[in-house]
């Protein structure tokens, strides 16, 4: 009995210490959160496993970036499993990644959680018909409850200087950039974002020249987020007739359009206009 009592007294402070560990604070910065005890598939220093998400994209997304939502809804187990795994990533694991790996992870999370939002409400004609889809509905992402707006505006746009995210985030609308048939990865991120920009700006809804009226038409995405391009593409003197933001957007576009369009954009003295945004669902 005395031996058992001494053993309990010895173990008691250890139990107190163990039970006091874990839990997150309410900061919006993933990096500021404390580590939880976990047994997870992705550990510190390892890139996230996108094998399941790769299968989903290849199976339900065509080469135009359109989604077969009906079939995806009928066979949603893989998507649910992948999105669940997004929530089990811990802050310590997230913080062990490079910026490119973090950006790729967050873009993939945004896009896959958008797919979940659509099939939860499918059939629907537009994501805008889903109440609270961007600002209210929350998901588990790296140990924190986040909305889609939080991922985009509070983390990707605030914590990283990468305006290319705007050609990668897919909000399930026809005028959105195309959804790739592959996930973004840290190692391939720059190449993938360049390819996305070429694909997006190759669509007349995102970029076209109206030479008769001496104007160019750009996606409304550039109107909404034009200032995000200024730091990387607005350092040169303004293009003749354009302001700083317009110059930055055009400088970005010039990297990805064909040679004739580049010449037109370089000369300036044209108006920048923005195309109407088609919010119809990006369904096959």
Phi-psi region of 99 (alpha: psi -120 to 50; beta: other; left: phi over 0): alpha
More confident residue, 137 or 11: 137
DSSP 164: G
- 264-278: average pLDDT: 96
H helix count then E strand count, the chain: 13, 5
Q: Give the model's confidence band at 36: pLDDT under 50 very low, under 70 low, under 90 confident, else very high.
A: very low
Closest CA to 284 of 114, 42, 103, 62: 62
Statement: residue 30 has pLDDT above 70: no
Q: Are 121 and 129 in contact, with CB atoms under 8 Å apart?
A: yes
> Is there a single domain that holds both residue 83 and residue 194?
yes
- 5-21: average pLDDT: 38
> Is there a single domain that holds both residue 47 and residue 157?
yes
- CA distance linking residue 269 with residue 254, whole number of Å: 15
Q: Residue 224: which residues within 8 A CB-CB, separation 6 or more?
A: none
Is 197 contained in some domain? yes
Written in H, E and C, the secondary structure of 22-55 is CCCCCCCCHHHCCCCCCCCCCCCCCCCCCHHHHH
Is 32 contained in some domain? no
Which pLDDT score is estimated for 236? 87
Is 80 contained in some domain? yes
Is 248 contained in some domain? yes
Domain containing 227 equals: 207-274
Q: What is the pTM of this model?
A: 0.86
Token pair in block for residue 200: 């997006």
Q: Give the model's confidence band at 269: pLDDT under 50 very low, under 70 low, under 90 confident, else very high.
A: very high
3-class DSSP state for residue 22? coil
- CA distance linking residue 118 with residue 114, whole number of Å: 6
pLDDT in tens, 237-250: 999 999 999 999 99
3-class DSSP state for residue 217? strand
pLDDT in tens, 50-81: 999 999 999 999 999 999 999 999 999 999 99
> Is there a single domain that holds both residue 67 and residue 160?
yes
Which pLDDT score is estimated for 91? 94
Statement: residue 28 has pLDDT above 60: no
DSSP 173: B
Among 152, 171, 201, the domain-final residue is 201
Give how many domains the chain has, as a whole number: 2
> Is there a single domain that holds both residue 98 and residue 151?
yes
> Is there a single domain that holds both residue 196 and residue 248?
no
Q: Give the model's confidence band at 46: pLDDT under 50 very low, under 70 low, under 90 confident, else very high.
A: confident
E strand segments, the chain: 139-141, 144-146, 207-210, 215-218, 271-274
Statement: residue 211 has pLDDT above 70: yes
Closest CA to 272 of 199, 220, 237: 220
Q: Are 42 and 93 in contact, with CB atoms under 8 Å apart?
A: yes
Among 201, 223, 249, the domain-final residue is 201
Is 216 contained in some domain? yes
> Is there a single domain that holds both residue 136 and residue 152?
yes
> Is there a single domain that holds both residue 174 and residue 52?
yes
Considering the chain, what is the average pLDDT of its residues?
A: 88
């Amino acid at each position: 009995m005395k031996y058992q009592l001494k053993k309990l007294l010895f173990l008691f402070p250890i139990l107190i210490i163990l039970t006091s560990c874990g839990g997150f604070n309410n900061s919006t910065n993933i990096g500021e959160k404390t580590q939880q005890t976990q047994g997870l598939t992705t550990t510190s220093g390892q890139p996230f496993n996108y094998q399941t998400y790769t299968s989903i994209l290849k199976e339900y997304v065509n080469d135009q970036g359109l989604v077969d939502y009906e079939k995806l809804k009928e066979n949603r187990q893989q998507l649910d499993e992948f999105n669940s795994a997004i929530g089990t990533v811990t802050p310590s694991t997230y913080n062990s990644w490079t910026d490119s790996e973090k950006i790729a992870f967050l873009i993939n999370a945004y896009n896959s959680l958008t797919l979940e939002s659509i099939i939860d409400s499918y059939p629907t004609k537009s994501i805008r018909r889903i109440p609270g889809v961007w600002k209210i509905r929350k998901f588990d992402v790296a140990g924190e409850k986040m909305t889609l707006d939080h991922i985009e505006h509070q983390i990707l746009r605030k914590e990283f200087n990468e305006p290319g995210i705007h050609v990668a985030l897919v909000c399930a609308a026809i005028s959105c950039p195309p959804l790739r048939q592959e996930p973004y990865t840290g190692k391939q991120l720059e190449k993938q974002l360049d390819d996305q920009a070429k694909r997006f700006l190759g669509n007349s809804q995102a970029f076209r020249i109206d030479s008769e009226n001496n104007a160019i038409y750009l996606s409304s995405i550039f109107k909404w987020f034009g200032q995000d391009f200024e730091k990387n593409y607005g350092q040169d003197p303004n293009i003749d007739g354009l302001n700083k933001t317009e110059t930055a957007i055009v400088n970005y576009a010039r990297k990805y359009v064909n040679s004739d369009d580049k010449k037109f954009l370089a000369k300036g003295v044209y108006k920048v206009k923005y195309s109407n945004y088609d919010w119809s669902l990006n369904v096959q």
